[in-house]
């Protein structure tokens, strides 16, 4: 089945130690998104790629970076994780931009910062 | 600005109807969406409605849109234990600026009483 896969399911890192979360998709969608979801809060869009075009949200901290080496893969890099970065990170895809945007989500990576 | 508001909890008896409400601020949103998140899983698209529609029905789900009041609701008929989840209201960000992705509310926890 075509899907969005996130690895790992759980990630534990130390304060200040760089960490990378990965996402892959078999849907061949043009757009890939990274959302941060904290408990009882709305998923917050960090950034997205439309093909190779990177679009950063204005309030996304510089500590968060992303890479999309090809259509199928997208990575979220946290350069120096702080305690406040502990959250669920959700990757999503959509076929195209604008109009009706059906987002397909992965199961998420739960990040803990010790 | 974009903001989506919804109450955090709703408790209903099994077999009753559930009505989850949402208000949004961006009057230019073309589409409005309802997503469902089960424990430990990503968000899954339940249904959506085009902004020039008042109502959309899909089996047990009925979406009502009051564009004047910027109010969206999701009615689940004959609520079952399997409907227990968090329900997110979302609006598209394609308000003329070509922005991608969705803005989500904080989610409503639907609790089913036997």
pLDDT above 80 (res B95): no
Q: Which of B100, B103, B106 to mutate to test the interface with A (most CBs of A within 10 A)?
A: B100
Q: What is the 3-state secondary structure (H, E, C) of A16-42?
A: CCCEEEEEEECCCCCEEEEEEECCCCC
DSSP 3-state of B81? helix
Contact A95, A31 (CB under 8 A): yes
Of A48, A99, A106, which is closest to B94 when you measure between CB atoms? A99
Q: A71-75, A99-103, B95-99: which range is least confident on average?
A: B95-99
User: Using the 8-state DSSP alphabet, how is residue B45 labeled?
Assistant: E
Which residues of B are less than 8 Å from A50 in CB distance? Answer: 100
- Measured between CA atoms, the residue of chain B closest to residue A97 is B100
SS3 B82: helix
Interface test with B, best of A34, A43, A51 (most B CBs within 10 A): A43
Q: Which of A19-23, B2-6, B31-35, B110-114 has the lowest mean pLDDT?
A: B2-6
Residue pLDDT, tens place only, A59-100: 999 999 999 999 999 999 999 999 999 999 999 999 988 778
Residue A7 dihedral angles phi and psi, to the nearest 5°:
-135, 145
Amino acid B20: pLDDT: 98
- The predicted pLDDT at position B41 comes to 86
CB atoms within 10 A of CB B79: 21
- Is residue B85 within 8 A of residue B37, CB to CB? The reply is yes
CA angle A46, A94, B76 (to 5 degrees): 95
A-chain residues near B4 (CB < 8 A): 42
How does residue B28 score in pLDDT terms, banded at 50, 70 and 90? confident
- Model confidence at A1, in pLDDT bands (50, 70, 90)? low
- Out of A50-59, A97-106, B77-86, give the one with best mean pLDDT: B77-86
Q: Which backbone phi and psi does A57 adopt, to 5 degrees?
A: -75, 145
Q: Is A38 on the interface with B (CB under 8 A)?
A: no
Q: What are phi and psi of A53, to 5 degrees?
A: -85, 115
Distance from A5 to chain B by nearest Cα, in Å?
10
Closest C-alpha to B82, from B106, B110, B47? B110
Higher-confidence residue of A106 and A97: namely A106
Separation in Å, CA B103 to CA A73, B14, B16: 23, 30, 30
Of A40, A100, A106, the CB nearest to B48: A100
* Dist CA A49 CA A93 (whole Å): 9
pLDDT score at A97: 81
Q: Residue A54: its chain B contacts at CB < 8 A?
A: none
Whose tokens are 């604008």? That residue is A98
Question: Where does the pLDDT of residue B98 fall: very low under 50, low under 70, confident under 90, or very high at 90 and above?
Answer: low
**Taking CB atoms and an 8 Å cutoff, what residues of chain B touch A35?**
104
Nearest CA in chain A to B42: A107
Select from B30, B42, B105 the Cβ nearest to the Cβ of A106.
B42
Q: Residue A2's pLDDT is what?
A: 63
In A, minimum Cα distance to B37 occurs at A107
pLDDT digits 0-9 by tens, A38-57: 988 899 999 999 999 999 99
What is the rounded (10 degree) CA torsion for A111, B5, B46, B61? 150
B45 touches chain A (CB under 8 A): yes
């Amino acid at each position: 089945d075509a899907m969005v896969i996130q690895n790992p399911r759980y990630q534990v890192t130390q304060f200040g130690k760089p960490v990378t979360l990965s996402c892959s998709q078999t849907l061949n969608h043009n757009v890939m998104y990274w959302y941060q979801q904290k408990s009882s809060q709305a998923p917050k869009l960090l950034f997205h790629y439309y093909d190779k075009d990177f679009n950063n949200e204005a309030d996304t901290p510089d500590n968060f970076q992303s890479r999309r080496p090809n259509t199928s893969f997208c990575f979220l890099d946290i350069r120096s994780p702080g305690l406040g970065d502990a959250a669920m990170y959700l990757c999503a895809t959509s076929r195209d931009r604008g109009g009706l945007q059906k987002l397909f989500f992965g199961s998420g990576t739960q990040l803990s910062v010790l | 600005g974009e903001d989506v508001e919804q109450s955090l909890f709703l408790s209903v008896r099994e077999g009753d109807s559930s009505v989850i409400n949402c208000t949004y601020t961006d009057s230019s949103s073309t589409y409005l969406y309802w997503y469902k998140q089960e424990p430990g899983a990503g968000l899954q698209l339940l249904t959506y409605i085009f902004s020039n529609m008042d109502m959309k029905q899909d089996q047990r789900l009925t979406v009502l849109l009051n564009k004047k009041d910027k109010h969206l609701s999701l009615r689940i008929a004959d609520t079952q234990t399997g409907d227990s989840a968090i329900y997110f209201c979302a609006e598209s960000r394609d308000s003329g600026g070509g922005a991608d992705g969705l803005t989500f509310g904080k989610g409503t926890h639907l609790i089913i009483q036997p």
